[in-house]
């Protein structure tokens, strides 16, 4: 008998919503799935986390956490799902004289056989899981592309097999077959109806996904609950498919028969479901997490609002998940959803606003506390990665915020762009000179800029494109104008990303392109450049900072290593332009940071590969603070209010707090966070 897609879908929902016993059973299943997602995270979150970790090269150390949702739902499908599916199948098939109690008894009778059948069917997905465990160890582009192609092909094959076995569970419950007989029977019966079955499953899936999207706008867990709740309409559809293909006709009855004892049991279950659902929704809304040192057990997104920026608070962006965490020494104050790809931040002391530059959405989110009070557009997003927004900096003398994006320098006052300066080449790192209010901006090329003009449509002051000469350049900006530029070397497509101003000797230090081992040093008075070099064995300079007490410059450098491979990390120390020594730190992969703490006069550096935070005195390593494997400490910041150093552990989903050369606390940002940039407000 031919299957009519819309007819079966319509009848599935008609049966579903006219029988409150089915609604109850699906609600129980949906609620359990939702509770599991609170504890272990949803499978969608796991997929997002895993994809982000592979892209960033940080996948190999936390596989168990990523697969916890998949494993938990696999177990649930077998242990609990077998019983609920059996009850739903029995109730739907016997709906002319349906009884809630009889459906429960039938599910109990067929539980072990259905368990075995679902176990065999779920094992079909094992090859895909094995592939995901292999993926983090692929270090070349070709192997990663092969992995993606193989995974896609395998997914198509597994989806085909799953559709062919859609009525295997019905064969067990209704046809009284063994697991192997049920699988063979389903495979044989569905042979000539694959496209119709695919259409039915597709429509049911689209309906559930749309409802998930709509309800997620209200509450993320409500959307997840609705999707899993409506997912049981596919089980109902599988019974209807079985009936059509077997030539069985059953007249639909409205409501079904329920005995007095069953009504009492159902009433108690409904009360428990409502109580648990309220708890789940309340849990997802959350409150500010508080705890004592050493660990803050904070594990879920907080929707609580922080109305105004708190002095001494620390902002941590979560790249790939597009939210910012706001912490204050011993507690998480709030978290806020922000633009796509949050990258860098700065703090305007004059208006107490935090500016977050979002690479993916080409905007700057302006936050007062956790509230977004303005979105500043930085241009269209259909451009190459090298032109995306990269840096943001506050100038306290002129009370301006500078942002680099699309070869332009955006000058921002409060929440408005007051001028756009077209540099004509990629702009990189920025540094501020507190003695005169000048800002130094590194660029991938030298440019001569004509006078600016006021745009008649936007009212912005626009500076036309500068003429490109072809050298790396250091621009000197005062207020909202370029007052000078200095050629610092041959053009390199990778713009210098790190610039530091040394107040003690009035020098500006620019880490040249990331794939070089040179540092440009520009005298702040004469603006004459010179070069200094880290040892030739180190091909990459990662980060730079200076010690305000002794004036020494500290540069993190390392050799080249493929993604996932170890590479030695050193800190090279300079006095003025003279190399002093290189100090071994550990084995670094890619992301490292360094900062000066004036409270204890120490430098603190991170080593992501070795999971180390290293403290240095003037010229030597003082102490190595070892974190648990898989934390991968990267960004680091000093908080002038409490005197602590804060470290973002990118793959550990935590922030470590350091005081007096010791780790005194850890803030847990949740399983599906990805701490990246870090900013102390003070």
What pLDDT band is residue 428 in, cutting at 50, 70 and 90? confident
Q: Decide which of 445 and 592 is more confident.
A: 592
* Average pLDDT along the chain: 78
Overall average pLDDT of the 550-573 stretch: 73
Rg, C-alpha atoms of the chain: 30
What contacts 656, CB < 8 A, 6 or more positions away?
Answer: 613, 627, 631, 633, 646, 647, 649, 663, 665, 666
* Least confident residue range of 85-89, 159-163, 214-218, 498-502: 214-218
What contacts 216, CB < 8 A, 6 or more positions away?
Answer: 222, 223, 224
Q: How far apart are CA 655 and CA 345, in angstroms?
A: 17
Secondary-structure percent of the chain, ordered helix, strand, coil, rounded to 5: 35, 30, 35
Q: Decide which of 475 and 255 is more confident.
A: 475
Overall average pLDDT of the 483-495 stretch: 73
* Least confident residue range of 456-465, 503-512, 631-640: 456-465
* Cα 571 from chain centre: 30
Q: How far apart are CA 532 and CA 278, in angstroms?
A: 63
Are residues 154 and 229 in contact, defined by beta-carbon separation less than 8 angstroms? no
The sign of the torsion formed by the CA atoms of 287, 288, 294, 298 equals: positive
Q: How far apart are CA 394 and CA 408, in angstroms?
A: 16
Nearest to 361 by CA among 387, 388, 386: 388
Is the pLDDT score of 147 beyond 90? Answer: no
Is the pLDDT score of 105 beyond 60? Answer: yes
Q: How far apart are CA 675 and CA 631, in angstroms?
A: 10
Overall average pLDDT of the 220-224 stretch: 71
pLDDT at 19 (0 to 100): 82
Is the pLDDT score of 386 beyond 50? Answer: no
Helix (H, G, I), strand (E, B) or coil at 291: coil
The bridge status of strand 662-668 relative to strand 323-328 is unpaired
The two three-digit tokens of residue 588, written as one number: 């670094």
Q: At what angle do helices 194-216 and 233-246 cross, to 10 degrees?
A: 160
pLDDT at 125 (0 to 100): 64
The two three-digit tokens of residue 552, written as one number: 């020494």
User: What is the pTM assigned to this prediction?
Assistant: 0.57
Are residues 168 and 121 in contact, defined by beta-carbon separation less than 8 angstroms? yes
pLDDT at 359 (0 to 100): 83
Q: Decide which of 66 and 1 is more confident.
A: 1
pLDDT at 360 (0 to 100): 80
What contacts 146, CB < 8 A, 6 or more positions away?
Answer: none
pLDDT digit string, tens, across residues 246-296: 876 554 444 444 444 555 555 555 655 555 555 545 444 433 333 332 333
Q: Decide which of 658 and 468 is more confident.
A: 658
Nearest to 441 by CA among 450, 431, 449: 431
* Least confident residue range of 82-91, 447-456, 613-622: 447-456
Q: How far apart are CA 287 and CA 266, in angstroms?
A: 33
Tell me whether residue 634 is exposed, middle or buried, using C-beta atoms within 10 angstroms of its C-beta: 0 to 12, 13 to 18, 19 or more: buried
* Least confident residue range of 232-236, 278-282, 505-509: 278-282
Overall average pLDDT of the 335-341 stretch: 87
Is the pLDDT score of 152 beyond 50? Answer: yes
Q: How far apart are CA 22 and CA 27, in angstroms?
A: 8
Is the pLDDT score of 669 beyond 90? Answer: no
* Least confident residue range of 106-115, 381-390, 486-495, 541-550: 381-390
Is the pLDDT score of 42 beyond 50? Answer: no
* Least confident residue range of 166-170, 208-212, 286-290, 520-524: 286-290
What pLDDT band is residue 298 in, cutting at 50, 70 and 90? very low
Nearest to 153 by CA among 127, 171, 175, 174: 127
For 410, the enclosing helix (H) or strand (E) is: strand 408-413
* Least confident residue range of 210-219, 323-332, 388-397, 578-587: 210-219
* Least confident residue range of 54-63, 65-74, 531-540: 54-63
Q: How far apart are CA 682 and CA 607, in angstroms?
A: 26
What pLDDT band is residue 407 in, cutting at 50, 70 and 90? confident
Overall average pLDDT of the 645-649 stretch: 94
Is the pLDDT score of 59 beyond 60? Answer: no
pLDDT at 561 (0 to 100): 46
Nearest to 25 by CA among 220, 167, 229, 250: 229
Q: How far apart are CA 191 and CA 156, in angstroms?
A: 17
Q: Tell me how far CA of residue 627 lies from CA of 22, 25, 635, 638, in angstroms.
A: 50, 46, 15, 19
Is the pLDDT score of 605 beyond 60? Answer: yes
Is the pLDDT score of 482 beyond 50? Answer: yes
Phi, psi angles (nearest 5°) of residue 401: -110, 130
Nearest to 224 by CA among 45, 383, 386, 375: 45
Highest mean pLDDT among 111-120, 212-221, 279-288, 512-521: 111-120
What pLDDT band is residue 97 in, cutting at 50, 70 and 90? low
């Amino acid at each position: 008998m031919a299957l009519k897609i819309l007819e079966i879908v319509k009848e599935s929902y008609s049966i579903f919503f006219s029988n409150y016993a089915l609604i109850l059973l699906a609600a129980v299943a949906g609620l359990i799935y939702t509770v599991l997602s609170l504890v272990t995270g949803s499978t969608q979150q796991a997929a997002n986390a895993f994809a982000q970790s592979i892209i960033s090269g940080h996948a190999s150390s936390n596989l168990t956490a990523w697969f916890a949702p998949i494993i938990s739902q696999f177990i649930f499908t077998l242990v609990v799902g077998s019983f609920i599916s059996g009850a739903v199948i029995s109730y739907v098939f016997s709906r002319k004289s349906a009884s809630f109690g009889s459906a429960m008894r039938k599910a109990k009778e067929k539980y072990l056989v259905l368990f075995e059948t679902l176990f065999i069917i779920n094992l079909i997905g094992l090859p895909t899981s094995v592939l995901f465990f292999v993926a983090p160890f692929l270090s070349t582009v070709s192997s990663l592309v092969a992995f993606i192609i193989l995974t896609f092909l395998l997914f198509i094959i597994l989806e085909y097999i799953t559709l062919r076995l859609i009525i295997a569970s019905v064969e067990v419950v209704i046809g009284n077959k063994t697991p192997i007989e049920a699988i063979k029977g389903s495979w044989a019966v569905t042979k000539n109806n694959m496209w119709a079955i695919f259409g039915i499953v597709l429509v049911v899936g689209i309906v559930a996904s749309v409802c998930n999207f709509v309800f997620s706008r209200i509450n993320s867990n409500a959307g997840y609950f609705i999707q899993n709740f409506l997912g049981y309409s596919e089980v109902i559809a599988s019974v209807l498919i079985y009936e059509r293909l077997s030539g069985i006709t059953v007249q639909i009855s409205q409501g079904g028969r329920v005995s007095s004892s069953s009504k009492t049991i159902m009433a108690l279950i409904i009360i428990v479901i409502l109580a648990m659902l309220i708890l789940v929704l309340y849990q997802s809304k959350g409150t500010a997490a508080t705890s004592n040192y050493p660990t803050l057990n904070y594990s879920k997104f907080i929707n609580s609002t922080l109305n105004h920026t708190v002095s001494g608070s620390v902002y941590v962006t979560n790249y790939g998940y597009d939210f910012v965490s706001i912490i204050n020494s011993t507690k998480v104050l709030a978290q806020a959803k922000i633009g796509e790809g949050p990258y860098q931040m700065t703090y305007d002391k004059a208006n107490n606003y935090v500016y977050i530059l979002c690479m993916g959405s080409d905007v700057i989110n302006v936050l007062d506390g956790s509230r977004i009070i303005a979105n500043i557009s930085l241009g269209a997003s259909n451009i190459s990665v090298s032109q995306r927004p990269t840096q943001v900096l506050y100038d306290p003398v002129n009370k301006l915020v500078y942002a680099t994006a699309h070869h332009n320098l955006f000058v921002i006052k409060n929440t408005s762009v007051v001028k756009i300066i077209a540099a004509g080449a990629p702009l990189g790192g920025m540094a501020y000179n507190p003695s005169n209010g000048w800002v130094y901006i590194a660029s991938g090329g030298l440019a001569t800029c004509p006078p600016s003009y006021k745009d008649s449509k936007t009212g912005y002051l626009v500076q036309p494109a500068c003429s490109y000469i072809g050298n790396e350049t250091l621009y000197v900006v005062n207020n909202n104008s370029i007052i000078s530029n200095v050629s610092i070397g041959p053009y390199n497509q990778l713009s210098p990303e790190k610039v530091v101003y040394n107040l003690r000797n009035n020098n500006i230090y620019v880490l040249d392109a990331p794939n070089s081992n040179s540092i440009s040093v520009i005298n702040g008075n004469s603006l004459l450049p010179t070069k200094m070099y880290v040892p030739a064995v180190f091909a990459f300079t990662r980060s730079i900072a200076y010690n305000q007490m002794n004036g020494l410059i500290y540069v993190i450098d390392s050799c080249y290593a493929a993604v996932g491979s170890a590479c030695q990390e050193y800190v090279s120390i300079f006095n003025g332009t003279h190399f002093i020594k290189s100090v071994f730190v550990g084995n670094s992969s890619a992301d490292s940071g360094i900062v000066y703490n004036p409270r204890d006069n120490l430098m603190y550096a991170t080593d992501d590969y070795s999971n180390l935070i290293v403290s240095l005195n003037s010229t030597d390593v003082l102490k190595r603070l070892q974190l648990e494997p898989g934390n991968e400490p990267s960004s680091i910041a000093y908080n002038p209010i409490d005197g602590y150093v804060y470290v973002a552990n990118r793959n550990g989903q935590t922030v470590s707090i350091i005081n007096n050369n010791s780790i005194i606390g850890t803030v847990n940002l949740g399983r599906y966070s990805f701490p990246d940039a870090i900013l102390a407000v003070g």
